[in-house]
Structure 1
Amino acid sequence: MRFVGIDPGTKTGFVALDSTGQVVKSKELTGIGTKDPRRMVTLIDEVIKHTDTEDLICVEGFGFSTQQGIMLGGIGWGLRMALFRRRMKYLEAAPGSLKKFASGKGNTGKDELAVHIYKRYGFEHSSDNVRDAYVLAQIARAIHNRHRDAFTHTKAQREVIETVLNPTPKSKKKKVK
């Protein structure tokens, strides 16, 4: 079994870890060309080619303050539909949960997060998308091993595991009259 982290975006981070947590694959995927929908379709196809039906996958959830929301939503939902079509189950971790898992705080900046990832795991990469995917893969691994490794996780990591496994249901918005 592999543990896969995917940070979907126009530059998608992809990391696969083996059962011991060693990196099997780490790369940034961009698809072909610059014009959509071709770029989006080829990007999603590229991600799917790197996955296997036995993988435990953790995908970064949608951010709320992104400037490219529509584009990222298209890629994010396209990826989720492709995984669904292949009957591949995936977990979803919010951007703040990813940061909290690696650093203990949900609002850590990218540069500081890179330091935490290196200190905790010894992993370095020039792409923040790949670094995020690495943490997502570690979340998948931690969830799989949560009963065996419960005492090795920090309080923040245990909280993230619980949140990913049991997300809070979204409350219904009241209709405005």
Structure 2
Amino acid sequence: MTRYVGIDPSTKTGFVVLDEYGDIWESQEIEVQGKDPERMVKLIDRILTLVSPNDVVCIEDFAYAQANRMAMLGGIGWGIRMELFKRGVTYMEVATGQLKNFAGCKGNCSKEDLIIPIYELWGFRNGSDNVRDAFILAQIARAIKETVKLKAFQRDVIKKVRGR
């Protein structure tokens, strides 16, 4: 059985696993306390213990932030990507705007603007915007590999993600 994984890398990483029917197998926000770089290594290791070799993974692409925050998020994001690569797990990167578009919102909408569309499209609720983003990423991974009924705006996103 194929699993569809969404990863929203951050100091509090959103992680969601769906099956081919869209049922949620795993949904959590992963955070590790401590000082860097040990904290970052433990966070990356913890995320990768949840990923299986045959998973279809979508990970949110890098977003712009303040320089010091960007360096930290880049370290986490690249660390996850390098570990996926080392383990032979392929992944697709999804731009933040594409993630938002897949939920029916404009690419520059706020994270709070996604709450209602996510619920209306999939009936999913979660208090963490990182988990909500990971949920959309998992839905994108699923839509790329499974025959899923999609709205026109979702089909457009899938075409763009596949074209990367």
Is this contact kept in 2: 1:104–1:157, CA < 8 A? no
Partner in structure 1 of residue 116 of structure 2: 115
Partner in structure 2 of residue 166 of structure 1: 163
Structure 1: state its 5+ residue gaps: 168-177
Partner in structure 2 of residue 51 of structure 1: 51
Partner in structure 1 of residue 97 of structure 2: 96
TM-score by length of 1: 0.88
The superposition leaves residues 49-69 of structure 1 with CA deviations (integer Å, 9 ceiling, x where unpaired) of 0010111000000002x1210
Is this contact kept in 1: 2:105–2:114, CA < 8 A? no
Deviation at 1:156, TM superposition (A): 1.4
**Over aligned residue pairs, what C-alpha RMSD do you find?**
1.0
Is this contact kept in 2: 1:100–1:107, CA < 8 A? no
Structure 2: state its 5+ residue gaps: none
Matched, 1:38 2:45: no
Is this contact kept in 2: 1:100–1:160, CA < 8 A? yes
Code of the aligned partner of 2:141: A
Is this contact kept in 2: 1:102–1:116, CA < 8 A? yes
Q: Partner of 2:25: helix, strand, or coil? A: strand
Code of the aligned partner of 1:58: C
The superposition leaves residues 31-55 of structure 1 with CA deviations (integer Å, 9 ceiling, x where unpaired) of 2x23001110000000000010111
The number of residues matched between the two structures is: 161
Calculate percent identity across the aligned residue pairs.
50
TM-score by length of 2: 0.95
Code of the aligned partner of 2:15: F
Deviation at 1:107, TM superposition (A): 1.8
Matched, 1:155 2:152: yes
Is this contact kept in 2: 1:4–1:137, CA < 8 A? yes
The superposition leaves residues 53-107 of structure 1 with CA deviations (integer Å, 9 ceiling, x where unpaired) of 111000000002x121000000000000000000100011001100000124212
**Separation of aligned partners in 1, 2:152 and 2:78:** 31
**Separation of aligned partners in 2, 1:108 and 1:101:** 12
